[in-house]
Structure formats: structure tokens, C-alpha cells
Structure 1
Amino acid sequence: MLNRGKIKYYVAAMRLRTLPLSMAGVCLGLMLAVADFHVRWEVVLFTLLTTVCLQILSNVSNELGDFLRGTDSGDRQGPSYSLSGGKLEKKDFSRMIVVYILLCIISGLLMLWFSFGTLFCVESLVFMALGAGAIMAAMKYTLGRNPYGYRGKGDFYVFMFFGIVSVAGSYFIASHEMFWRMLLPAASIGFFSVGVLNVNNIRDMSTDAATRMTVPLRIGEKWAKVYQTALLAAGWVCMLVYSLLRIQDIWHYLFVLSLPLFIVHLHGVWTRSGKTLDPMLPLLVMSSFIFALLGGLGYLVYLFI
């Protein structure tokens, strides 16, 4: 039975503050699809639910993997975690991982069923393969014998799954159409997502040095901050180019209203280091989420005016 005294620690282990980042790409892809096509609400619902389950699976797996490797030591720079703080045990996390794998599979299959009407068409099979890859990527960041997060390869996987697969994949699932220009907003969210990972790694440089090799540790703090600036700039350029390629409408540039948030974030990155960088993480997460919502709303507004 579920120990009621542990419920708040289970919730803490989900790291709900990370959900807006994973939702950003999916929301943008779905909103752009709704703007262009008729979309079933069931597809929207289960796409969002699958995304939430994948993100929580990633968070729980990440905490367990870091704990097993001794990364979450007492002097870590970020917030305290349920496992390293002794609030939950390894078996609790193992159970959570199994539960969220099952939820990902069930929700993902329902998403495909409502979208394509069958689980045995080419499109469904392709997305099943992508889903299996997403589950593996969520778990293998810090878990397993050779986790890619400890080898400085997290940036690539974050870009692909939080950006390309998230935006372009959700757009296709909802609309059954794909255009090459969709790679631009997908890349935009991908760059911002890598930026979140990069700030996290800059913050943790002092504690990560003994256990993993991240991009900031490879190139140094100064160049990691240059890299951060380049990531955000690339994200903005991609979305601006996408808007320029579409039929011109001032509403398509609604996302520009989020620019001050990114400026504040970059100022914080360049003027802080170590643990003081922690507030810059949720700031970039929410900035990316607001950017995505405004970007999608800019194409939906014609439905309401």
C-alpha cells in the first residue's frame, strides 16, 4: 500500500517544475496544427498526457541514476532530492519507474489509436519506435552502465526529443501532415531546451567534475556562457525565419513579447555562477513555455477575431 507519509516526497521526486519545458514543444506543435487543420481533442489530450509521463519518468530515472553513482552528494549545488535526502528508498524509485513506463505505453498507444485509427499502420509503427526511443532516452541519461548524460551527449538527445520530436512529432500526430518548415520552430524549442540543460551543467560544474564530463566542463565556464547565448540566439532566429516564411500577419510575431524574459535570463547567467545560477533554470523554463504559448497563439488568434 502507498505510505501516505511519503506522498509529498513522491511528488517532489516528479520535479513538476520541469514540466513546462517538456510541454512547450508539444503545445507549440499542437497549436500550430490546430491553426492549420481540424484536430481531435482526444489526440491533444493523450499527446499532452504522454509528454507529462515521459518527463516524470526522465526526472525519476535521473535522480535514481545520480544517486547510484554518488553524484547527488551533500555539497551539490541544486535543490535537495527525496532519494539523496533519505526521504525515499531505491525500491520506491524503481516502482515509480515501472509505473511511469506503463503509463507512457498506455497513453502513447491511446494517442496513436485516436490519431490514426489503428496501431498497425506505418505511421503508428514509426511513432511506436520513436516512443520506445523516448522511453530509453528518458532512462539512460543517468541510468545504466554507460549513461549518455555522463559523457556530454545530453545536448544532442535533448535537442532531438524536446525539440524536433516534440514539436514536429506532435504536429504530425495531430494533423497527419508535415512540412519542412516545421523543423524551424522545432529547432527553436530544441535550442532553448539545450539551454536549460547547459545552465544546469554550468551550475553543477564543481560537483560534476569528479563523476561526469558535461559540455561546460569540456569548454570551461566562460565559453559555456557564450554557448548559452548562442543557443538562445539560434532559437530566436529559427522562429523568426519560420514566421517570415508564413503568410505575413503581425500576430505571427506575438512570441516577441517574451524577449525581455530571455534578456533577464542571459544577464543572470553572465553575472552569476555556482548555486546562485539556480533561479535562472526555472526562469528559462518558463520563458520557453511562454514563448511557445505566444508562438502558437499568434497563429490561432484568427479563430477568435
Structure 2
Amino acid sequence: MKSWLSAARPRTLPLALASIFMGSFLAAFAGKFDWLIFALCCLTTIALQVLSNFANDYGDTQNGADLVGRVGPERAVQSGAISPKQMFNGIIFLAILCLIFGISLLYFAFRDASSTIFWYFLGLGLLSMLAAYTYTAGKKPYGYAGLGDISVLIFFGLVGVLGSNFLFTKTFDWLNFLPALSCGLFATGVLNINNIRDIESDTRAGKKTIPARLGRDKAVIYHWILLILGMSSILIFSILQGKNNFQYILCFPLFFMNGFKVSRLQNPDPMLKQMALSTLAFVILFGVGQLL
């Protein structure tokens, strides 16, 4: 059980939930929050994130990125704690959970809406599951081509925030694109820390992440760009919204500290968890400010 818990990578869950919290806070500000939809959103997101983590553990071992001597935490399949077949079965189990939670979510969210919306969102959910699996698993994982950052920006930002908000409100407010962009950029920052840590092992395995392509120094500059754009996006949102809500600025020193530490640490792995928790704290402060 300990090996399965480690493979689930609990430290990634705050980041996965951040986009759901953001979409939910925006819905609550619009007066359209629902606790059942919120709970099912969280369960679906957690199941999808664990599925992604299992697939990453399975795929990186199969494709050679989790080699002996990698800098990051030991992986379950690579270490032999969980066999490839057991991990693949775990992925199937999580996929079934995603479908159960996701279909339940869509039923309660759209039971009084057009069935067309239900099918669109079901397709989006299946696409999210496919993206979670094919990031590092399968014959042509897109993470090995350096497309992971785009995927994270889309699914942890735009889809996570705008999609979850739509489940409550049944409408799109394009101003919400800015907080969604902030969440996506900060989530991409977490992935970038992971990829900076793994530059050597990824390069050996032919995994062409952005840091593996750019080198460490330029990857750090890229990290600063992600942080600054993320902070700028939410500031622009608050200014355009015209609401005196800037409490989230209290989290900005955490992002600056993250940038400085990533710049200086040879192994920035400790800053991965810090970045994920800082993002969640940022979202909570933003949400509290919206509601107050």
C-alpha cells in the first residue's frame, strides 16, 4: 500500500485541485455554486491526477526516462516495488473511477440542460484521460516531444478553470480566461521544476522537454517568465473586473522565492511541492477576496 501511495504522488494533488477551486470561487461570486458539483469535480480531478501519475510512472520506465541514477524520487515501477502489469491494472482502475465520478458529475450538472452539452463535456473528459495517459505512456508519448507544457497549460488552466466554472454557471465569461491562464502558467511552472531536475536523465532517454532542449540556464529564465506572466494575468483580471480584490498578492513573495531558489539550487526538487502549495494558497486567497 505504501508503494501505491507513493506512486499516487500526493504532493501533486493541491495543484490539480487549484484550478477546480478557482472555477468554483468564480462561480460562487456569480451566485451559482453547488456543493454536490464541487465535490464531484474534486473527486474526478483527484482520480484523473492519480491516473496521470500512475501512467507517468509506468510510461517513463517503459520508455527509459526513469533510469537508475535519476535525481528525483524513486519510482514504483522502476524500483520494482510495483510490476508493470500491476501498474497498468492500476491505470485501468483509475480510468474506471474517472468515468464513474465524471459521468455522475455531468449528470448532476446538466440534468436540466441540453443533452448536447453533456456529450461535449463527456468528450472533453475522455480527451483529458487520453492526454493523462499518453503524456509519457504509449508508443509516441507527447511529453517526450516537449509538448507537456502546452498540455498542462490547457488542462490545468483553461479546461480546469473555465470547464469547472461552466459546470456551475452554464455560461462562459471570457474575462475568466485570465485567472485560468494564471493557474495554467503556475502549473506549467511546477512541471518546469520537475523537468529542470530531470534534465540529465531525460536527455539520456531522448525525452526532449523544454529544459532538455534549452539547457538549465535558459530553462530558469523560462521559469521566471511563467511566474511573471502568471502574476500579471491575475493582476490584469482584477483591474478589469474593477473589484478591490488584491489579497492574493500576499502569495507573490512565495513565487519570487520559488524563482530564486530554482535559480540557485542544483536539485530544485524541494521547490516542486512549494510551488504547488503556493499556487493553491494563491487560489484560496483570491477566492476569499472575491467572496468578501
Name the TM tier (shorter chain): over 0.9
Aligned to 2:256: 263
Instruction: Using the aligned pairs only, state the percent identity.
Output: 37
1:84 aligns with 2:71: no
- In structure 2, what is the equivalent of residue 295 of structure 1? 286
Q: Amino acid of the residue matched to residue 204 of structure 1? A: D
User: Are 1:67 and 1:84, in contact at CA under 8 Å, matched by a contact in 2?
Assistant: yes
Supply the AA of the counterpart residue of 2:262: V
- Residues 258-295 of structure 1: per-residue CA shift (max 9 Å, x gap): 1111111111011122xx21111111111111111111
Where in structure 1 are there 5+ consecutive unaligned residues?
A: 1-6
User: What residue is the counterpart of 1:174 in the other structure?
Assistant: 168
Mapped to 1, the partners of 2:148 and 2:229 lie a distance apart of 18
Measured after TM superposition, the shift of residue 201 of structure 1 is 0.8
State the superposition RMSD in angstroms. 1.2
- Shift, 1:247, TM fit: 3.1
Q: Secondary structure at the match of 1:210?
A: helix
Q: Report the TM-score when normalising by structure 1.
A: 0.93
- Which of 285, 288, 292 lines up with 2:276 in the alignment? 285
Partners of 2:170 and 2:198 in 1: how far apart? 41
SS at match of 2:251: helix
Deviation at 1:119, TM superposition (A): 8.5
Contact 1:113–1:119 (Cα < 8 Å) also in 2? no
Question: What is the CA-CA distance between 1:60 and the residue it aligns to?
Answer: 0.2
Paired with 1:255 and 1:174, the residues of 2 have a C-alpha distance of: 23
Equivalenced residue count is 291
- Following superposition, which runs of at least 4 residues in structure 1 exceed 3 angstroms of deviation? none
Distance 1:55 1:30 in 2: 18
Is residue 139 of structure 2 the alignment partner of residue 127 of structure 1?
Answer: no
2:209 maps to which residue?
214
Q: Distance in 2 between matches of 1:93 and 1:173?
A: 32
Question: What is the alpha-carbon distance in structure 2 between the residues aligned to residue 113 and residue 173 of structure 1?
Answer: 10
Residue by residue, what CA displacement relative to the aligned partner does 1:135-169 show, whole Å, maximum 9, x if unpaired?
A: 00000011111000000011111100000000111
1:235 aligns with 2:230: yes
* C-alpha distance in 2 between matches for 1:222 and 1:208: 16
Contact 1:27 1:292 (8 Å CA) reproduced: yes
Query: How far off is 1:118 after superposition?
Result: 5.9
- Encode CA deviations 1:192-237: one digit per residue, 9 max, x unaligned: 1111111111111111112111111212211111110000100011
Q: Residue 24 of structure 1 aligns with which residue?
A: 18
TM-score (norm 2): 0.97
Question: Aligned partners of 1:167 and 1:144: how far apart in 2?
Answer: 28
SS at match of 1:177: coil
Deviations 1:230-260 (A, max 9, x none): 00100011100111111322xx111111111
